[in-house]
Amino acid sequence: MKFKNFIAILFILFSFTLYGQEKVEIPITHKNNVEWKKFFENEKLTLSVKYADCSDQENGIYQDFYLIRIENKTNQKLLVNWHYDLYYDGKCTSCNDKDNEFLFRHELKAKEIIEPSCSNYTLNAHYKLGILRSVINYPKLPVLSKAELSELKIYSY
C-alpha cells in the first residue's frame, strides 16, 4: 500500500511542469516604439513590451509606461510568477522588496492573452502589467533606466 501512495505522489509531482530562469531583461523601448516587441519566449509563454503615453490631460496626469503583454501558447493553464527589478536613474528601487509589492503572480487560461492598455493596466488580470517610466510633467523625478524580471517561474497544469 505504501508503494502505491509513493507512486501516486510522484505522479502528482511530475504532472506539474516548471520553467525557471534567474533574470530576464525587459528592453526599454524607444518612445516611438508603440508596437509589441517580444523579449521572452519559450514553448509555453511569450512576453512582449511596448511604450505607452498614458497621460490623462483632463485630470492633469502626465505619465508614460512600459506595458507587458502575456500570451499562453499552450492548451493548459499556466501559473506565471516574477519579481520586477526596476532601476530609476540607475538605482534599483524594488530589489529589496520585503512586502512583495513588485511580485507578479497570475493564472492564465489555455491560449489566453492578456494585453494591457493605458485604460486597463491597473485592472483585474492586467494588474501590475504597467511599469511607470516617468512622470512627464515632473522632469526632476527619476526616470526608469532598466527593468528586469527576476525569479521568473512558469508552472503548467
Domain ranges for the chain = 18-156
Report pLDDT for 128. Answer: 84
Report pLDDT for 125. Answer: 58
Rounded percentage of the chain residues whose pLDDT exceeds 70? 80
- The mean pLDDT of 117-131, rounded to a whole number, is 74
Residue 97 has pLDDT above 90, yes or no: no
Report pLDDT for 154. Answer: 94
Q: Is this structure's pTM higher than 0.85?
A: no
Element (H, E) at 14: helix 2-15
pLDDT band with cut points at 50, 70 and 90 for residue 71 = very high
